[in-house]
């Protein structure tokens, strides 16, 4: 897929406001409504635009804190890793999980209401997954930046 300058402007705008009305978007990118809409549909069909989502305020629903947890497994064979990945993906508190090659075996980003909520999650869910040997939690003291806006060349 080859993106031109107008496509990039469309993507930038929709990353900021996924519900921007098409008329408004068209004006913002210097096009009339119908070709603008056509481009958006093409970007959706091509998978460049994956989906649209509502972004919630974590603090307002009692999930204001983020925790980064590094995980070491008892073994690194296929079965152990696959089982861990499948189980951790089921946990709704886990927003992100990556398998790592270096120091630890996996890293997860967890949201919780507070430290007690997190500790309960760790002991009752994370540590109970078969194959988990050790976990270490890092707590951010401040969030400097947190965006879903990808840079467009």
Q: How far apart are CA 113 and CA 71, in angstroms?
A: 21
Q: Which does 21 bind (CB under 5 to 8 A by kind): a copy of itself, DNA, none?
A: DNA
CA dihedral 123, 126, 130, 134 (to 10 degrees): -80
Interface with a copy of itself, residue 135, by CB under 8 A: no
Q: SS3 of 25, please?
A: helix
Binding residues for DNA, rule: CB under 7 A, are: 6, 21-23, 31-35, 37-39
Could you tell me the smallest distance in angstroms from the CB atom of residue 38 to DNA?
6
x/- binding map, residues 70-109, to a copy of itself, per CB under 8 A?
---------------x--xx--xxxxxxxxxxxx--xx--
Instruction: Indicate the residue among 33 and 83 with the shorter CB distance to a copy of itself.
Output: 83
Angle between helices 5-16 and 33-45 (to 10 degrees): 80
Asked if 28 contacts 8 with a C-beta cutoff of 8 angstroms, the reply is no
- SS3 state at 114: coil
Interface with a copy of itself (CB under 8 A) = 1, 3, 11, 14-19, 46-58, 60-63, 66, 68, 85, 88-89, 92-103, 106-107, 111, 138-153
């Amino acid at each position: 897929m080859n993106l031109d300058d107008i496509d990039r402007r469309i993507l930038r705008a929709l990353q900021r406001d996924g519900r921007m009305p098409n008329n408004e978007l068209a004006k913002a990118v210097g096009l009339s409504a119908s070709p603008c809409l056509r481009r958006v549909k093409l970007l959706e069909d091509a998978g460049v635009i994956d989906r649209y989502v509502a972004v919630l305020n974590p603090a307002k629903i009692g999930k204001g804190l983020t925790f980064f947890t590094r995980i070491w497994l008892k073994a690194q064979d296929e079965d152990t890793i696959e089982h861990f990945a499948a189980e951790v993906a089921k946990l709704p508190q886990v927003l992100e999980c990556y398998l790592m090659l270096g120091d630890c075996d996996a890293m997860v980003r967890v949201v919780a209401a507070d430290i007690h909520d997190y500790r309960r999650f760790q002991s009752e869910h994370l540590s109970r997954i078969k194959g988990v040997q050790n976990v270490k939690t890092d707590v951010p003291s401040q969030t400097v930046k947190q965006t879903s806006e990808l840079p467009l060349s």
